Structure 1
Amino acid sequence: MKPAPLRAASRLLCCGLLLAATGGARAFSFAEDEKQGAAEEEGRRGRIAQHLAVPCKAALRNQGILVALADQTADGYQLQGSKYGRHAAVINQKLKALGLKTYTAEEQRARIAQAEMEAYFRNDPDAALAASSKLGAAFVLKGGVSTRTAYNPVVRLPEVYVTMHFTLAAADGRTISTATAKAESYSGSDTAGMALELVHEQAEEVVAKLYNDYCRAAGKPKK
């Protein structure tokens, strides 16, 4: 069975714990919560359809897109091998389903060294361009994963917050699009696992926005 969405699951857990803590002093309507969830899903579907309605030139569909994810901290990005391999694979799948060209993790590792991959995350345009040339990629989708943990004194449980910020850029460094996905949970300290769940839940809308911007702006010359 597919796990419930993080937001909905966390909201229901929070409400249940609050009711237990307050002795049910304030009524909670599960019907209203379901109605709100249905409205949010309808809005999400509408945004996705609107993003995907943009036409995309055949030439752009043949341009390679490299997908790379790394931890994002106050000290910058930290690329840790295959930690986010499954996360990148989900994004790759979504992009390919829309007819765009991407590369597998194996193809990227075979042609680009770790140090060259890190060039994308330290905004080194010359090194990044050299790495892109080796792979044949014309665009780079860089994703930064940041996490934060805290203790919620009301429900008496640890909370974990995950934010994923994506930047789609041309190999020459020109930014094409940005998108952000966020989630929070009471599930503990498995931030990589929660980030994967977040990707599964929100990748469709994130990729749709990136696709829209890519098809509209990628072919325009650098200013």
Structure 2
Amino acid sequence: MADRREMLARLNPQTVRFDVGQGGGAPSLTTSDIAAALGMVPAGLGREVMEAVYLPDGALRHRPKLTEAVLAIVRPEFTRRARALADAEADLEFVQAIVLLGRRGMSDAQRRALQQRKVAVDQARAAAWPRNTYQHLSRMVDAVVQELASGNRCEACRGAGIVEDKGCAACKCTGMEPLPDRRRALAMGCDPSAYPKRWRPVFEWLLSELHQAGEVAARNFSRALSNSDYVPEARAA
């Protein structure tokens, strides 16, 4: 079945008409129908992503809305990861202080506790995003939108990001066939050698979030085209 989001291209400025050349009959859906259905899709990240991918000419006029919607999901995630690292480091410092205050040789229990805290710090540091994430965010969003627009869907999950109610391991829930790291790095304007460790986790997280939000908007758009009594679908938290 054709992706009905492709109909949004009719809303871009055209040099041809879509209401002629069909054997004299009117098309089943006019540009007015499509615009009305788009207007029924709830405002927010999903709609902005869908328009950026399938209606780029129109989306350019309100790119700030996409930026605001992306920042609304990036900021709490960035903060959560930064706090997790700060908490892990504080726990490690606390255990180290206990060992020093004991003024005796380290016990086995203290040694285990210290090792556990070090491991926790390493894990939290690996999960934390670079401090200059916001400076790279605009280029990263552009790269993600371009990748979504490429239509290079993951074959394992058919673009859903989920296989048998579990996250797709092949695409890491992004719904897209992974591109080479170097291509993604160049698309977002970062050093290809730094991308795998510093930027890949951020990029894949953002790609997954924008893909899933766009899919919800797509289902709402399709239902709005088909059913005048449609109730918009809310994105799962």
> What band does the TM-score fall into relative to the shorter chain?
under 0.3
TM-score, normalised with respect to structure 2: 0.27
Larger Rg: 2
TM-score, normalised with respect to structure 1: 0.28
Per residue, is there more helix in 1 or in 2? 2
Per residue, is there more strand in 1 or in 2? 1
